[in-house]
Amino acid sequence: MAEEGQIMKKTIIHWFLIAVGLLFILIGYCLMTSSDSETTTTDELVVDYTDCTSLDDTVRGKLCPKHLEEKDATNCSVCVTSFTVTKPLIGKVIVYYELTNFDQTSPDYINSRDDNQLKGNWTEVPSENCAPFRYDAASKPILPCGSIANTMFNDDINITRSAKFTRVPIFAYGMLSDSDKIGFQNPETFDSLISFSRPASWTKSLDELDTTHPDNNGLQNERFIAWMRTDWKRKPYGRFSNHGTYKNGLPAGNYSLSVNYKKYNHYKGPRKIIFVATQTTVVPGPFVSGAVLVPIGWLLIIVVGALVYGTRILEALHKKYDDIKASRANGAVANPSQPKPSEPSASRLLTTARATTDANKDSAV
C-alpha cells in the first residue's frame, strides 16, 4: 500500500525530470530560431506626439497641449508630427496608444461599468457600479455608463507616408480574438439609444464609433472593447491591413502623423503611438527570455550539488545496503549473544556508592 505510493511518486519524479529535459531542448531551439530574425528587425517603434503642432487655422504652429490649456478648448483639431523609420518593422504591425501615468488599475475604476449593459441588455437603470457616471445632469441614463467608458481615449490618428503622401491604412478591428468580445453585444437595433445619454466626454455617439464596419460598431467596437478590458499602459488602436503594401510591416522611410488632438479630460501626460511588430515565436519578451534562465540555474545548482554531495550519498547508500546485508548474515547470531555488560556493575556501583554515602552520613551524625 505504502509501497504503491512510493513507486507512484518515483515514476512521477522520473517523468518529471524527463519532461524538464525535453523542455529545455525545446526552449533552446526556440531561442536559437528567434535570435536569427532579431538581428534584422526592430520590435517596436514609439512615436511621442504629445507636443504635436496644431494645424488649426486659429492657432497654427502652436503646440496642442498649450493650446488646450490656454484656451480651455476641447479640440486641437488636427495637428501633425513626423517620424522616421530607420529599420523596417517586419511582421504584422499593431498600433498602440499609450497614456503614461494613466491609472486604470484602481478597483473603483475597473468596477465602474455595467456588464449587463455591455451585453446588450439596455435597461434604463444602469448598475450602481457606474456611479457617479450613471445618469447625466438631466437624469438620463448614460450608455455605456461608468467611469471607464467615460474616459475612453478618443484621439483620431492618421499616418501618411511622407514620400508618397499615401495614407497607411489602419484597421480598428481584428485586433482582438473572438473570446475577448464575448462580453460585448449590441442589441438588435440601436433604436433604443435615444433614451440614453452618451458619456459626457464622448464626442461621438455610440453607433458612430466605426461606421465603416457595421460589425465593429457600437458596443462591439474593438477599440471600445479594448478600452473596457482594462489593462496597463498600452491600448490597441488598430492594425495594419493584411493585404497590400503594409501587410508585412512598416518599411523604412519618413512618415507623418496627423492627429485629431482632443482634450482628454484633464489628462496632461504624454501621448504616444507605438508600432509593434508581432513575433513569430512564442517567446514574447526579454523578461521571459530571462526567466528561462531560472530553470537552467536550478539545474546547474542541482548538478553542482549532486557533484558535491553525490559521492557522499552514494557512499551512504552503499553502506546502508551493506549494513542490511551484514545484519542479515550475521546479526542474528551476533546481537543476542551480546551480554548486558554494564548491568551488574551498575547495580554494584549503586549499592557500593550508597553504602559509602550512608556511611558518610553516619559519620557526620
Partner 1 sequence: MNRFPHNSKYGDEEATPTAGKNARAGEVALVWSRHEYRPRDGSKRACGSRTGSRGASRRAVRTAGGVAARGGPRHGAAVAARMCARSEAVELEVLGAEGGEARVPPRPLRLSLLELLGKLVRRDQPSAPRRRTRHNHRFRTFVSCENERRIKANNREYNAQFRYANNYIKTSKYSIITFLPLNLLEQFQRLANFYFLCLLVLQLIPAISSLTPITTAIPLIGVLALTAVKDAYDDFQRHQNDSQVNHRRAKTLRNGKLVEEKWASVQVGDVIRLENDQFVAADILLLSSSEPNGLCYIETAELDGETNLKCRQCLLETAEMGQDDAKLGAFDGEIVCETPNNLLNKFEGTLSWREQHFSLDNDKILLRGCVLRNTSWCYGVVVFAGKDTKLMQNSGKTKFKRTSIDRLLNFLIIGIVLFLLSMCVFCTVACGVWEWLVGRYFQAFLPWDTLVPAEPASGAVVIALLVFFSYAIVMNTVVPISLYVSVEVIRFAQSFLINWDEKMYYEKTGTAAKARTTTLNEELGQIQYIFSDKTGTLTQNIMTFNKCSIAGVCYGDVVDENTGETIELTDRWRGARAAGGAGGGARARLLEREHEQGRSTPGARRPDTPHNTEPLDFSDNPEYEPEFKFFDGKLLTAVRQENPHVLDFFRLLALCHTVMPEQKNGRLEYQAQSPDEAALVSAARNFGFVFRERSPNTITIEVMGKTEVYELLCILDFNNVRKRMSVILKKDGVIRLYTKGADNVIYERLKSSNQNEVRNKTQEHLNKFAGEGLRTLALAWRPLEERGFAEWKRRHQAAALALRDRDERLDAIYEEIETDLLLLGVTAIEDKLQDGVPETIANLSLAGIKIWVLTGDKQETAINIGYSCQLLTDDMAEVFIIDGVSHDDVDRQLAKCRDSIRVVNTFLPHGATENKRSSASAGSMCGVAGASGGGAGGGAVGGAANGGGVVVRPSPGRAANVKLNAPAVSVVTFSNEYVSGGPHDALEPANDDSNGFAIVVNGHSLVHCLHPKLEEKFLDVVLQCRSVICCRVTPLQKAMVVELIKKSRKAVTLAIGDGANDVSMIKAAHIGVGISGQEGMQAVLASDYSIAQFRFLQRLLLVHGRWSYYRMCKFLRYFFYKNFAFTVCHFWFAFFCGFSAQTVFDEMFISVYNLFYTSLPVLALGVFEQDVADATSLQFPKLYAPGHTSQLFNKTEFIKSTLHGCFTSLVLFLIPYGTYKDGLTPDGKILSDHMLLGSVVASILIIDNTTQIALDTTYWTVFNHITIWGSLVSYFVLDYFYNYAIGGPYVGSLTVALTQATFWFTAVLTMIILMVPVVSWRLACSWTRPTLAERLRARRAAAPAPRTPSARRARRSVRSGYAFAHQEGFGRLITSGKIMRRIPHADAALSALASLPGKFHPRAATPPPAASQPPSPAPPGPPSPPSPPSPPSPRAPKQDLDSVDL
Residue 117 CA to residue 307 CA, distance in Å, equals: 63
Candidate list 74, 298, 311, 359; residue touching partner 1; CB under 8 A: 298
Candidate list 7, 46, 200, 252; residue touching partner 1; CB under 8 A: 7
Residue among 39 and 179 whose Cβ is closer to partner 1: 179
All three cell numbers of 69, joined, read 490649456
All three cell numbers of 354, joined, read 550508597
Residue among 195 and 347 whose Cβ is closer to partner 1: 347
Residue list 36-95, contact with partner 1 (CB under 8 A): 92, 94
Candidate list 53, 81, 112, 117; residue touching partner 1; CB under 8 A: 112
Residue among 82 and 278 whose Cβ is closer to partner 1: 278
Residue 53, CA distances (Å) to 45, 56, 62, 65, 76 in order: 20, 9, 6, 9, 9
Q: How far is the CB of 79 from partner 1 (least distance, A)?
A: 21
Candidate list 18, 252, 304, 346; residue touching partner 1; CB under 8 A: 346
Nearest by Cα to 145 from 196, 104, 189 = 196
Candidate list 3, 36, 57, 72; residue touching partner 1; CB under 8 A: 3
At a CB cut-off of 8 Å and minimum separation 6, what does 258 contact? 55, 78, 79, 80, 157, 158, 159, 160
Question: Considering CB under 8 A, how many residues would be counted as binding partner 1?
Answer: 107
* Cβ–Cβ < 8 Å for 155, 261: yes
327 belongs to the binding site for partner 1 (CB under 8 A)? yes
Could you tell me which stretch among 57-65, 74-82, 101-109, 186-194 binds partner 1 (CB under 8 A)? Answer: 101-109
Strand partners, 234: 98
Residue 238 CA to residue 176 CA, distance in Å, equals: 10
Could you tell me which stretch among 54-62, 134-142, 179-187, 247-255 binds partner 1 (CB under 8 A)? Answer: 179-187
Q: How far is the CB of 117 from partner 1 (least distance, A)?
A: 12
Residue 142 CA to residue 126 CA, distance in Å, equals: 8
Candidate list 6, 84, 203, 205; residue touching partner 1; CB under 8 A: 6
Residue 233 CA to residue 211 CA, distance in Å, equals: 27
Residue among 60 and 268 whose Cβ is closer to partner 1: 268
18 belongs to the binding site for partner 1 (CB under 8 A)? no
Which one-letter DSSP state was computed for residue 135? B
Nearest by Cα to 75 from 60, 61, 54, 96 = 54
Residue among 214 and 295 whose Cβ is closer to partner 1: 295
Residue among 12 and 125 whose Cβ is closer to partner 1: 12
Residue 27 CA to residue 299 CA, distance in Å, equals: 14
Residue list 181-220, contact with partner 1 (CB under 8 A): 181-183
Residue among 56 and 273 whose Cβ is closer to partner 1: 273
Residue 184 CA to residue 174 CA, distance in Å, equals: 15
Residue list 237-296, contact with partner 1 (CB under 8 A): 239, 265-269, 276, 278-285, 287-288, 290-292, 294-295
